[in-house]
Amino acid sequence: MERLTGGGSAVLGTGADSRPKKLSSVAAVAQSIGARLFMVAINAATGILTARALQPAGRGELAAMILWPVFLASALTLGVPSALTFQLRNNPEKRSQLLGAALLLAGLVGLVGMVVGALFMHAFIPQYSPRVIFFARVFLLNTPLSAMMLVGRSALESQGDFAASNKLFLAPPAQTLVCLVILWKTGTLTPVSAGLAYVPMGIPPFLWMLNRLWRVFRPSLRSFADSARQLFNYGIRAYGIDLCGTMSLYVDQALVVRLLEPKMMGTYVVALSLSRMLNAFHASVVMVLFPRAVSQSPQVVREMTSRAARMSTLLTALAAAGLLFLGPYMLALLYGKEYAVATAVLRILVLEAVLSGATLVLSQAFMALERPGVITALQVTGLLLTLPLMLIFVPRMGIVGAGLALLVSTTARLLFVLASYPFFLKTRMPHIFPKVEDLRFMAEAAARPFGLLRSKRAMAAEAAD
């Protein structure tokens, strides 16, 4: 039984779950943060390369082409990835049937998204050239693959195999970076060739994932109807959370690409990618928190979620302070002086990233306690603010209006989630401000690897004597 303790209270892994885990919660979170920081470095490198080589207009065209496969796959999950994690933790004996049904459902929904996207692409981005629209449609072929990747990663994480999930997370962008460097060195880097470097790079990791899933789960379509019913019973209620998370990441880009010209789209994407570096801490915690909170008591889940939110938000806020100070210089130095106009929206997006991450972590308590419908209803209400605010602010204020619309919506969702703890879970509202014991725990966790190393050296010295 893995526990994270500090001052005697649990953080992520505690309670009655005695199934073996490949990593302790601290180690799993640390590994995931490391993977996501590595992803930040890769994304920074690809962002700098494409921003400088393509200039704002070309970067906007690239974003218009590669946005849709991941957006549609994430927006049309129907809650299946979250439902799969929940059901695998509660019904491990049905893992073959559950995974087989989840993969098939994800593939079918991805196909639907691909067809719908192809039909409406021209109507949605009419200001782009026919060539850009054509390749945006071609790249939609990646939508079913992206949908099944989400399901596969959820399955691996439910078994504590965070290392495999992190590999799937990192492999496509790492391959993309290599391809972009080759295109740049050979003088063939254009928006279309860059898109070809982004979209198909998920195929080799996808094949590796299928092989690993087959060895671990032996996916089967036996009892498909029953398995699908189990997944949808939880998934539809959780779908709003998945949808809100996707919309908070992509709806602004989807609307900006519709409302503004390619040059401003390219500038906005650069500011957004810089601010989204802050997602590493919260996303890493959520990756471990949800599967390990399932089947725990409400009080234990509240304590786990509360501490996880405080510590991840503290780390994110510290990084955000540095980004607020250095952001204007980074935009001009790394991306080029053409992007310096993004300074104002960058500051707004940095604050929004901190609040949205805290909201995401706090939502996991409702997911683990089988009350996803509550968060779905509340988050959808908050998200509904985004669309009219975008339509009002963006035409008047440009990309700054997009950032403000996101910030208002995210603030509303955070307040809704906090108020829902006493109302729906009948527990006290979580403490969201850091405590001294949190700082002590973080210091102990950071020092633990060095203590283990010293112990191993001492044991080796004793053995030598």
SS (H, E, C) the chain: CCCCEECCEECCCCCCCCCCCCCCHHHHHHHHHHHHHHHHHHHHHHHHHHHHHHHHHHHHHHHHHHHHHHHHHHHCCCCHHHHHHHHHHHCHHHHHHHHHHHHHHHHHHHHHHHHHHHHHHHHHCCCCCHHHHHHHHHHHHHHHHHHHHHHHHHHHHHCCCHHHHHHHHHHHHHHHHHHHHHHHHCCCCCHHHHHHHHHHHHHHHHHHHHHHHHHHHCCCCCCHHHHHHHHHHHHHHHHHHHHHHHHHHHHHHHHHHHHCCHHHHHHHHHHHHHHHHHHHHHHHHHHHHHHHHCCCCHHHHHHHHHHHHHHHHHHHHHHHHHHHHHHHHHHHHHHCHHHHHHHHHHHHHHHHHHHHHHHHHHHHHHHHCCCHHHHHHHHHHHHCCHHHHHHHHHHHHCHHHHHHHHHHHHHHHHHHHHHHHHHHHCCCCCCCCCCHHHHHHHHHHHHHHHHHHHHHHHHHHHHHC
pLDDT greater than 60 at residue 2: no
Q: How far is CA 304 from CA 127, 288, 298, in A?
A: 48, 11, 10
Measured CA to CA, the distance from residue 453 to residue 224 in angstroms comes to: 49
Whole-number percent of the chain with pLDDT over 90? 34
Cβ-based burial of 360 (10 A; exposed 0-12, middle 13-18, buried ≥19): buried
388-393 contacts, C-beta under 8 A, 24 or more apart? 390/251, 390/252, 390/255, 390/259, 391/255
Percent over 70 (pLDDT), the chain = 87
382-407: per-residue pLDDT in tens? Answer: 777 888 888 899 888 989 999 999 89
Structure confidence by residue, pLDDT tens digits, 452-465: 555 655 566 566 65
Distance CA 421, CA 430 (A): 8
| pLDDT tens-digit series, residues 30-39 | 777 777 778 8
pLDDT at position 9 over 50: no
Q: Which amino acid is at 22?
A: K
Residue among 113, 29, 106, 85 nearest 372 (CA): 85
Instruction: Return the pLDDT at 39.
Output: 80
Mean of the per-residue pLDDT values for the chain? 83
pLDDT at 12 over 60: no
pLDDT band at 142 (very low <50, low <70, confident <90, very high): very high
Predicted pLDDT at 327: 86
- Mean pLDDT within 273-291: 81
Predicted pLDDT of residue 14: 37
Q: What is the pLDDT of residue 17?
A: 40
Distance CA(300)–CA(25), nearest Å, equals 15
Per the model's pLDDT, the better-predicted residue between 16 and 175 turns out to be 175
- For the segment 300-313, what is each residue's pLDDT rounded down to a tens digit? 889 889 988 998 99
pLDDT on residue 249: 67
Average pLDDT, integer, range 147-166 = 88
Per-residue pLDDT at 110 exceeds 90: yes
- Are 108 and 100 in contact, with CB atoms under 8 Å apart? no
Query: Is residue 229 within 8 Å of residue 98, measured between CB atoms?
Result: no
Gap between the Cα atoms of 162 and 80, Å rounded: 19
Q: For 203-260, write each residue's pLDDT tens digit.
A: 899 999 999 999 989 999 988 999 999 999 888 887 876 776 677 667 778 778 877 7
- 451 pLDDT band, cuts 50/70/90, is low
Lookup result for tokens 């909170």 = 293
pLDDT band at 5 (very low <50, low <70, confident <90, very high): very low
